[in-house]
Amino acid sequence: MPDPSTLGVFVAASVALLLTPGPAVIYIVSRSIEQGRLAGLVSVVGICTGTLVHVAAASLGLSALLVSSALAFNTVKYLGAAYLVLLGIQTLLESDESVAQAAVKRATLREIFTQGVVVNVLNPHTALFCFAFLPQFVNPSLGRAPVQIVALGLLFVTLSVATDSGWAMAAGTAGNWIRRQPRLARAQRYVTGGALIGLGAAAAISGRRK
């Protein structure tokens, strides 16, 4: 691990990045509003599991493929964008049933977890972050760079759990109130679906590699 001063910079930079709304935060907030705090917290676990996949890939050097290959970068990016758009379309196509009936057809916690993992695994920006950001805090004099990357990655995931859980709790609390209002509940479905589609579109057009 780096010295305390460097570690402090890493923590501060990580928290600043985590508090900036991005694909993971939007997915967590959408799920929390739609199905409550528990679903939001499960989505946090899924998102963080996806981050762990990238941390492992970065420690093995596999993320270099996304950095060096425009084809690999764009393939993963568009797959992730298409997946988000599909989730959004499915949400918009749900029928206008009563809240109680609709609750039966909502995504299970396992599905929410799996979708969270897929959303972040198919997010090339997470891979680029792990490959470009984490190594900046590796101390070459200590050796065993992959081990240092894993340690920093685990610290980042721990911070992510804390900040993302805050988003989930806040959005889940607001969602409870929204779901008690029939008209707002219907509007919320359109907002959630639109947010997922917009997120997918933004992911598709941002950060293009040539």
Helix pair 145-179, 37-60: axis angle to 10 deg: 160
- Residues 24-47 have a mean pLDDT of 88
* Segment 134-163 mean pLDDT: 81
Using the predicted structure, report yes or no on whether residue 105 has a pLDDT greater than 60: no
| Residue length of the chain | 210
Question: Is the pLDDT higher at 190 or at 155?
Answer: 155
C-alpha 147/C-alpha 124 separation (Å) is 22
The answer to whether residue 190 scores a pLDDT higher than 80 is: no
CA 131 to chain centre: 17
Percentage of the chain beyond pLDDT 70 is 62
133 or 165, which is more confident: 165
Spatial CA neighbour of 15 closest among 166, 123, 120, 131: 166
pLDDT band at 98 (very low <50, low <70, confident <90, very high): very low
Contacts 24+ apart (CB under 8 A), 40-44: 40/167, 40/168, 40/169, 40/171, 40/172, 41/165, 41/168, 41/169, 41/172, 42/109, 42/112, 42/113, 42/116, 43/112, 43/113, 43/115, 43/116, 43/168, 44/116, 44/160, 44/161, 44/164, 44/165, 44/168
Picking from 115, 114, 130, 20, the residue whose alpha carbon sits closest to that of residue 66 is 130
Confidence (pTM): 0.66
